[in-house]
Amino acid sequence: MALATEPTRNGVAPPMSADVVIRMEGVQKWYDQFQVLKDIDLEVHRGERIVICGPSGSGKSTLIRCINQLERHQKGRITVNGVELGPHHRQLDLVRREVGMVFQSFNLFPHLTVLENCMLAPLKVRGTTKAEAKATAMRYLERVRIPEQADKYPGQLSGGQQQRVAIARSLCMNPKVMLFDEPTSALDPEMVKEVLDTMIGLAEDGMTMLCVTHEMGFAKSVAHRVIFMDRGEIVEQNTPEEFFSAPKSERTRSFLGQILAH
């Protein structure tokens, strides 16, 4: 709310002093012989908004999927909200219920209505009452501006609407941090904006966000920090101003050249 006066200004200093929500230390991951993540160190502070970009296959998805352990890492430590991810289910449960995730392909549950999609996890994971789950769901559906679609099935909605429902569904769990994996890549161009606007709205409310995206306009206006990944490494990270105007590494420059040429 404090950021609302200057909604899309990322000039607001990232809250570095605030507590760390995600800490990755020396994280490594292999698929068989192929190393996807090489020694990743990353700290995400409460309220911080980070955009991750990089060429296809550089490990961006893998990195954020390790945070809620959709992929397991083999080496290093990942701590989320004070819980270190280990081999036990209990830690995994604690982490997953605090971390929301939005996918490129929406992944709404097609057999449930929009409202039921939003109510399922609060009911079955948090054990809230039906009335409460419904109230929360309607609140977030209003927030993503589609309350009137509550009783429809996902297949009856446009891509942009589905993605907004997916965001609302995550928010219903009241997550401490939201992960986005190319949330607008599967959308028709005319629907990209409505989803980005929803994400900007989240940013204004101070949500901690980690977004894999190639929407550089979004990165410039919303991110505190832009991270560039290539071949499983974090090659460069900086404020958006510095990142776009004065990229340090050659790999970043050539990547930006390709992206901005479009």
Partner 1 sequence: MIRAFGYNEFLFLLSAVQWTLLLSVIAFIGGGIVGLFVALGRTSDVKPLRLLATGYIQLFQGTPLLMQLFLVFFGATVVGIDMSPWVAAAVGLTLNTSAFLGEIWRGCIQSVPRGQWEAASSLGLRYPGLMRYVILPQAVKVAVPPTVGYLVQVIKGTSLAAIIGFVELTRAGQIVNNATFQPFLVFGIVAAIYFALCWPLSLLSQRLEARYAAPSR
Ligand X SMILES: Nc1ncnc2c1ncn2[C@@H]1O[C@H](COP(=O)(O)OP(=O)(O)OP(=O)(O)O)[C@@H](O)[C@H]1O
Interface residues with partner 1 (CB under 8 A) are 68, 70, 89, 93, 96-97, 99-101, 103, 105, 107-111, 120-121, 124-126, 153, 155-156, 166, 169-170, 173
- DSSP annotation of 241: H
Decide which of ligand X, partner 1, Mg ion, none touches 36; Cβ closer than 5 to 8 Å per partner kind: ligand X
Residue at token pair 């054990």:
127
d(CA 5, CA 249): 35
- Which of 59-67, 168-176, 227-235, 249-257 is the region at the interface with Mg ion (rule: CB under 5 A)? 59-67
Binding to Mg ion by residue 61, rule CB under 5 A? Answer: yes
Residue 42 Cβ, how far from ligand X at the closest point, in Å? 14
Q: Could you say which of Mg ion, partner 1, ligand X, none residue 30 binds, taking C-beta under 5 to 8 angstroms by partner kind?
A: none
Of 109-148, binders to Mg ion (CB under 5 A) are none
Name the one residue in this structure whose structure tokens are 């941090």.
Answer: 177
3-state secondary structure of 155: helix
Q: Which helix (H) or strand (E) holds 192?
A: helix 189-204
Q: How far is the CB of 130 from partner 1 (least distance, A)?
A: 14
Contact (CB, 8 A) for 186 and 167: no
Count the site residues for ligand X by CB under 6 A.
10
Sign, Cα dihedral of 214, 215, 217, 220: negative
d(CA 253, CA 9): 24
Residue 29 C-beta: closest distance to ligand X, Å: 9
Cross-strand pairs, 128: none
Of 112 and 259, nearer to partner 1 (C-beta) is 112
- Least Å distance, CB 231 to ligand X, is 9
* Spatial distance between the Cα atoms of 250 and 159, rounded to a whole number of angstroms: 36
- The option from ligand X, partner 1, Mg ion, none interacting with 89 (CB < 5 to 8 A, set by class) reads partner 1
**Stretch 179-198: interaction string toward ligand X, x if CB under 6 A:** --------------------
Q: Decide which of ligand X, Mg ion, partner 1, none touches 38; Cβ closer than 5 to 8 Å per partner kind.
A: none
State which of positions 47-76 bind ligand X (CB under 6 A): 54, 56-62
CA atoms of 143 and 226, how far apart (whole Å):
27
Helix (H, G, I), strand (E, B) or coil at 239: coil
Is residue 252 close enough to count as binding ligand X by CB under 6 A?
no
Contact assessment for residue 227 and residue 216, using Cβ atoms and an 8 Å cutoff: no
CA dist list (Å): 241 to 7, 210, 216, 238? 17, 18, 11, 8
Could you tell me the smallest distance in angstroms from the CB atom of residue 104 to Mg ion? 7
Which residues make up the interface to ligand X (CB under 6 A)? Answer: 31, 36, 54, 56-62
